[in-house]
């Protein structure tokens, strides 16, 4: 569809139609499958191009942190941090480098009482303490709940 024709048609739409259209677009952009498709191709430290809504232009930055519906990006110049929607990330398969291979951790890499983090299926980072070391998983206590997490999914937490 031609962008000029689309904008012309939107100019003729009623406020209610525009509001309903915005709600539909927001619903599509926040769909978990869309977010997951983008999230799976990103990693902390990766350089990305993203749409900066405040400036209405593309910017370059580095991924710092993930939330379920946004990611924190550090802009290059001037150095600023922005929470950005996953939909604002421009993905190019040729430019997306594979994350550095990490050593797969196993039971011998952890100890009882150690503080670790992991990312749940809902893409939320959780912090917990190891309460039991099983053969293939660690039992963790996280905010009053118990979790069994595979060793390769755990990350060490450094307390400074």
Give 20-80 as a DSSP string.
Answer: HHHHHHHHHHT-HHHHHHHHTT--TT-EEEEEETTTTEEEEEEEEEE-SSEEEEEESSS--
Strands 89-90 and 81-85: unpaired
pLDDT of 128 over the 50 cut: yes
With contact defined as beta carbons under 8 Å apart, do 117 and 127 qualify?
A: yes
Give residue 54's pLDDT. Answer: 84
Domains, in order of start, for the chain:
3-90 (2.30.30.140), 107-156 (2.30.30.140)
Q: Which two tokens stand for residue 17?
A: 């139609």
pLDDT of 73 over the 80 cut: yes
Q: What is the pLDDT of residues 102-124, one digit of tens each?
A: 677 889 989 999 999 988 877 77
Q: Which two tokens stand for residue 69?
A: 């519906």
pTM over 0.95: no
């Amino acid at each position: 569809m031609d962008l000029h024709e689309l904008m012309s048609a939107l100019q003729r739409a009623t406020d209610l139609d525009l509001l309903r259209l915005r709600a539909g677009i927001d619903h599509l952009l926040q769909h978990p499958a869309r977010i997951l498709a983008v999230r799976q191709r990103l990693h902390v430290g990766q350089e990305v191009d993203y749409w900066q809504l405040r400036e209405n232009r593309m910017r370059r930055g580095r991924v710092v942190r993930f939330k379920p519906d946004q990611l924190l990006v550090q802009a290059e110049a001037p150095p600023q941090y922005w929470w950005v929607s996953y939909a604002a990330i421009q993905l190019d398969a040729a430019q997306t480098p594979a994350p550095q291979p990490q050593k797969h951790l196993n039971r011998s890499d952890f100890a009882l009482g150690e503080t670790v983090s992991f990312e749940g299926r809902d893409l939320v980072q959780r912090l917990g303490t190891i309460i039991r070391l099983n053969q293939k998983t660690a039992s963790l206590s996280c905010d009053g709940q118990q979790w069994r997490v595979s060793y390769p999914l755990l990350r060490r937490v450094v307390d400074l």
